[in-house]
A and B are shown apart, each in its own frame.
Chain A
């Protein structure tokens, strides 16, 4: 599973990344996390709220920090 966190580096974006890494650790998931800060790349995903979370090329959430329960659900845990 490939998780991408899109965000130019605001506080909410780092929080989202941290939270996802935490959940992965807790649940022992084998998902990989990549943070994308390049604005051109972010735009090419068609999202315009940041942070956005993309899992296996599917936009899961945009414009807010996701809840822990949501992340667990995305990871199938």
Chain B
């Protein structure tokens, strides 16, 4: 069905029919998705005020409506984004990415590594083998870091949630600044010439180059791949999303307007570094944090401060540092945290200044 399969000529007509059928089903699916998505606001307010005995304009009503609207909306958007990114990822493997990055010059290599970090499928638990695989294959240290920073920070869950809850502008700002931090932090680490601060056993590892046959994937395989990604990721994060939206809904309905302005507002200079510090020990609950963040923004928290908090939660995490300590000496870990934290701080201050 894709360009990879060459159907025998006598089956051409049948294959074309299957393709047309698949296409029709896809189009019907998209139409159905869109119709349901558009009906959500009315449905939520009907549920809240029509079906439940809740008065319009009450605190409780505002909270309940928020929850009933945002939960299905975010789930539907996550579904779409995770599925799309899943299909995109089926075109990439860590092996191909490594082959592509090895021997690349520093600056262009950093940019490519950050971009590939978004689309290369890789689980955070294999960060160490990946690090070793990259470095021993001649991918420069700074380029490897650009990859390792971008991969968790700019991810499909954050993008889907930000788009759904805060609009495409915030999602684009997040993605753009996330990539910028990954590129510049990796470049700085490369310039600092810290290759000597990798643990010795890594460079002594005599890792054989493995030759695995590259799998030929058909479009059907890719759709299954995207579907598996949906099942795996949504199966893992749905509970955090619902909890996050529930907390967000509570804030939305009951916390007075503007209360966050004094704590997380633009005028308190210390709010950005504090957000980064609080974010470091928090881990993997990006899915639950973004709905809360939306509610905080609505109550007067500044966008820059909130972005800094989110990035710190997602990109700098203690458990990851503990794993990376196996391959990096303490000084390199400290530089890594320091450089990324500085990047996040400047993003935070920048957005508090311009918006």
Contacts and interface: CB of A to CB of B under 8 A. Distances in A.
Interface of A: 7-10, 12-13, 39-40, 42-50, 59, 62-63
B201 A12 contact: no
Contacts of A47: 129, 133, 210
Contact of B132 (A7, A13, A48, A59): A48
Given A43-B129, A63-B121, A49 B94 contact: yes
B125 A8 contact: yes
B354 interface: no
Interface of B: 93-95, 98, 121-123, 125-126, 128-134, 201-202, 205-210, 212, 323, 326-327
A32 B95 CA distance: 28
B212 A49 contact: no
B333 to A, nearest CB: 16
B129 A48 contact: yes
25 contacts: A7-B125, A10-B125, A12-B123, A39-B128, A43-B129, A43-B132, A43-B133, A43-B202, A45-B208, A46-B207, A46-B210, A47-B133, A47-B210, A48-B129, A48-B133, A49-B94, A49-B95, A49-B123, A49-B126, A49-B129, A50-B129, A59-B212, A63-B94, A63-B121, A63-B122
A9 B323 CA distance: 12
A63 B98 CA distance: 14
Main secondary structure of the interface of A (DSSP, over half): loop
Contacts of B134: 48
Contacts, number: 71
Contacts of A62: 95, 212
Query: Which 9 A-B residue pairings sit nearest by Cβ, starting from the closest?
Result: A48-B133, A10-B125, A48-B129, A50-B126, A46-B207, A43-B132, A48-B130, A46-B208, A46-B210
B207 A43 contact: yes
A10 B130 contact: no
Contacts of A59: 210, 212
Q: Name the residue in A9, A13, A47, A50 with the highest tally of chain B Cβ atoms < 10 Å from its Cβ.
A: A47
B132 A50 contact: no
Contact of B125 (A45, A46, A50): A50
Given A44-B205, A59-B210, A59-B212, A50 B133 contact: no
A8 B123 CA distance: 11
A42 B94 contact: no
Contact of B130 (A7, A13, A40, A49): A49
Given A40-B201, A47-B133, A48-B132, A8 B207 contact: no
A45 B205 CA distance: 9
Nearest to B125: A10
A40 B212 contact: no
Given A9-B125, A10-B123, A12-B123, A45 B207 contact: yes
A42 B123 CA distance: 15
Contacts of A10: 123, 125-126
B91 to A, nearest CB: 14
Given A8-B125, A46-B210, A63 B133 contact: no
